[in-house]
Amino acid sequence: MTSELDIFVGNTTLIDEDVYRLWLDGYSVTDAVALRVRSGILEQTGATAAVLQSDTMDHYRTFHMLERLLHAPPKLLHQLIFQIPPSRQALLIERYYAFDEAFVREVLGKKLSKGTKKDLDDISTKTGITLKSCRRQFDNFKRVFKVVEEMRGSLVDNIQQHFLLSDRLARDYAAIVFFANNRFETGKKKLQYLSFGDFAFCAELMIQNWTLGAVGEAPIDLDSQMDDMDMDLDKEFLQDLKELKVLVADKDLLDLHKSLVCTALRGKLGVFSEMEANFKNLSRGLVNVAAKLTHNKDVRDLFVDLVEKFVEPCRSDHWPLSDVRFFLNQYSASVHSLDGFRHQALWDRYMGTLRGCLLRLYHD
């Protein structure tokens, strides 16, 4: 009696997404097998525990071999050892560079150095994320930073070109790189209510409006050649912001500004009396933040200052977000009616970004 057997031979590398997630999350083979058993896979497939152990180990060996290619994603696309469809390649890259919100929130704005890496044990304990996963995420942040830090041009484009990330993930990495480069403080207790998404939103606004890349090509001189277009804040712009102090230093301008805002908002704000009483303090706070940005420490404390000088006073007076929006819009626009003020373009560049950030930071 003869038997017929159909045989198919292929060399496509099989990727189990669930096992890949367990590997990325830093689980050992033993722990991964236990979690797979708990998921009911033995009952679903009829496999034995030995087969599941072997399957998991085989996947882990594959992922370890792929990891060096994932460090430089274009190499994964051009190598010939692993036959992986393009859609699977994209999945491998995207998930390898994905990060946990709880983790990024702990390291955002810190220097991506050995000193910070030593804190990963504590971060792992605090967040419940495995140490191995914390290390992978930290090393990814550092790797992207090192690759793009000397590049000119769009930060997002550079990240996408060299790491093949989706637009959203590339923008998130741009925010991480931007915050690490400028060392913005994000860890203070009064900032803990803010999410990574809040900071990333503000980072994107600042990159678009406050960096050298925001004003097109920087002049070619020795200093500008040392600056990265989207990573470094425009120092000339920061110096010019001192000119805005006239808005609060000149009593006539301050009084006129207040009068214009109050006239426009009377009857439209539920907190009008609180706004009118506190206008000068709020205005001084916003303008003084601008005037201090020539100092590195004050740049680092930008979000602390915004929360202290604007968010907390408005929150203590129970401003709804809609009133904050009305106020900031009118506060910004009415400056154009001040005849004695000569820095309209500078003001718009500053307040256009600040208004967006403040509305994002304000949780009523």
Residue that is written with structure tokens 């050892």 in the block: 81
* Cα gap 230→211, rounded to integer Å: 6
Share of residues in the chain with pLDDT > 70 (%): 93
If you write DSSP's letter for every residue of 37-98 in order, what string do you get? Answer: HHTTHHHHH---HHHHHHHHHHHHHHHHHHHHHHTSHHHHHH-SSSB--HHHHHHHHHHHH-
Query: Which pTM was predicted?
Result: 0.90
Q: What is the mean pLDDT of residues 182-210?
A: 96
pLDDT recorded at residue 217? 45
Q: What is the pLDDT of residues 230-266, one digit of tens each?
A: 889 999 999 999 999 999 999 999 999 999 999 999 9
Q: Within 13 Å and on the Cβ side, how many CA atoms surround 22?
A: 21
pLDDT recorded at residue 8? 45
Q: What is the pLDDT of residues 40-66, one digit of tens each?
A: 988 888 888 899 999 999 999 999 999
Residue that is written with structure tokens 């990333």 in the block: 200
For 122, 193, 312, 346, 357, the CA distances from 362, given in Å and listed in that order, are 30, 10, 9, 24, 9
| Per-chain mean pLDDT for the chain | 92
